[in-house]
């Protein structure tokens, strides 16, 4: 027997047991974590992003209309009838209904129902898709405007509609996103998706050059900036085309709000100036601007405004409020020119 041999013999089983223990620990951790989240998010949930298995589960039963997108919301049953009013709604993820499971709860569907209750012969086409900006809204109107021949055009605006160039947009760079299996797991694993979301939300990032998204928007789209001027140009082009199609054009401004649990929603001070400029831009282009801020700050708790606990998109209740506001404007506008 060579000196030291018994020690090696004793050490190997101990090392083997340790490795086995780590393996069993890791496998149990991953299996239980995945199982736990699949039970917690049994019906899926909406997160502030548009990918991942939990979100796909949530949106599994969504129905899409025939417009580009896939777009979500009512569509006309057939050719336009001579005595009917046709409403075209353009928008992004808000109109699309991110976080709202039931299509009947979208503001577009609610608006259609409300108007039909007043015996108005009306149909509707919704051209909405998450992430759509003003240039795409213009393209959509160019593509569908003549075919649809709308009597009313509603454009739901949100601050990111101005972001035609996105290279300066604040984004985090997380180390775990560089591993080769990240895209696969993020699309298929509840555990990986949720850990990615949670850690990205909770961990500070030194790579984001702006303290907030609102600050970035305020800095990059101030008056006279290239970003704002480009947006103005596209908006004017869109408004001109919309006015050629119908005199009834409404821009519904959805505000960027600070949503803190237990407190009323508050309009982000950084974007007040942008809202003021949007109202002025609407006046310049002779379109009606409906600022939804006043209605939305009336909510007592921000939780009622949020679509889900993990998604700041408007809730079904907020969709109801938007539909009410639009219904009043359209009801008044059909008697008198808007």
Partner 1 sequence: MTEFLAELWAFMKERKKFWLLPIFMVLLLLGMLIVLTQGSAVAPFIYTLF
C-alpha closest to that of 321 among 265, 274, 277:
265
Cβ pair 290, 250 in contact under 8 A? yes
How far from the centroid of its chain's Cα atoms is residue 76's Cα?
A: 24
3-state SS assignment for residue 333? helix
CB nearer to partner 1: give 76 or 314.
Answer: 314
Minimal distance in Å, beta carbon 235 to partner 1?
19
Nearer to partner 1, 36 or 121 (CB): 36
Gap between the Cα atoms of 297 and 148, Å rounded: 35
CB of 86 to partner 1, least distance (A): 26
Contacts of 284 (CB under 8 A, 6+ apart): 236
Report, in Å, the least distance between residue 158 CB and partner 1. 6
Min. distance of Cβ 251 from partner 1 in angstroms?
17
d(CA 206, CA 204): 7
Shortest distance in whole angstroms from residue 55 CB to partner 1: 11
Q: In this complex, which beta carbon is closest to partner 1, that of residue 71 or of residue 285? A: 71
Looking at the DSSP assignment, which residues form a beta bridge with residue 253? 157, 291
Nearest to partner 1 of 291, 312 (CB atom): 312
Residue 123, classed as helix, strand or coil, is strand
Taking the least distance from each CB to partner 1, the nearer of 28 and 84 is 28
Note every long-range contact of 30-36, with CB atoms under 8 Å and residues 24 or more positions apart, other chains counting. 30/191, 33/191, 34/189, 34/190, 34/191
Please state the closest distance from residue 155 (CB atom) to partner 1, in A. 16
* Shortest reach from residue 244's CB to partner 1, in Å: 29
Q: Give contact residues for partner 1 (rule: CB under 8 A).
A: 21, 24-26, 28-29, 32-33, 36-37, 40, 47-50, 69-70, 92-94, 98, 129-131, 158, 160, 166, 169-170, 172, 194-195, 197-198, 200-202, 213, 256, 259-261, 302-303, 306, 309-313
Our CB check for partner 1 shows the closer of 201 and 222 to be 201
φ, ψ (nearest 5 deg) of residue 153 = -120, 125
What distances in angstroms separate CA 18 from CA 5, 29, 142, 234, one per listed residue? 20, 16, 66, 64
Q: Is the Cβ of residue 54 or residue 112 nearer to partner 1 in the bound state?
A: 54
């Amino acid at each position: 027997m060579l000196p030291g041999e018994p020690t090696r013999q004793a050490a190997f089983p101990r090392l083997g047991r340790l490795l086995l223990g780590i393996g069993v620990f890791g496998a149990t951790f991953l299996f239980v974590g995945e199982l736990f989240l699949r039970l917690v998010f049994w019906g899926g949930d909406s997160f502030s992003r548009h990918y991942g298995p939990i979100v796909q589960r949530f949106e599994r039963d969504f129905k899409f209309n025939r417009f580009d997108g896939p777009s979500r919301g009512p569509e006309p049953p057939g050719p336009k009838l001579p005595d009917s009013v046709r409403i075209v709604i353009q928008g992004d993820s808000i109109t699309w209904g991110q976080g709202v499971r039931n299509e009947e709860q979208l503001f577009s569907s609610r608006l259609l129902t409300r108007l039909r209750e007043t015996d108005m012969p009306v149909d509707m086409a919704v051209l909405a898709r998450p992430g759509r900006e003003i240039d795409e809204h213009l393209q959509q109107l160019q593509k569908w405007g003549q075919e649809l021949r709308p009597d009313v055009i509603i454009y739901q605006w949100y601050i990111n509609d101005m972001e035609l160039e996105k290279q300066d947009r604040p984004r985090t760079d997380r180390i775990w996103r560089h591993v080769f299996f990240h895209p696969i797991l993020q699309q298929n694993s509840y555990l990986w998706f949720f850990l990615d979301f949670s850690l990205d939300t909770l961990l500070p990032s030194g790579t984001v050059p702006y303290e907030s998204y609102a600050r970035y928007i305020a800095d990059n789209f101030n008056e006279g900036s290239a970003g704002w001027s480009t947006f103005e140009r596209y908006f004017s082009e869109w408004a001109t085309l919309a006015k050629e199609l119908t005199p009834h054009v409404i821009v519904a401004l959805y505000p960027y709000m600070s949503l803190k649990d237990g407190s009323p929603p508050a309009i982000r001070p950084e974007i007040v100036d942008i809202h003021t400029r949007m109202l002025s831009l609407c006046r310049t282009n002779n379109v009606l601007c409906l600022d939804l801020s006043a209605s939305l700050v009336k909510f007592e708790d921000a939780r009622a405004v949020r679509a889900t606990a993990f998604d700041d998109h408007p809730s079904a209740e907020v969709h109801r409020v938007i539909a009410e506001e639009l219904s009043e404007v359209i009801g008044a506008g059909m008697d008198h020119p808007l």
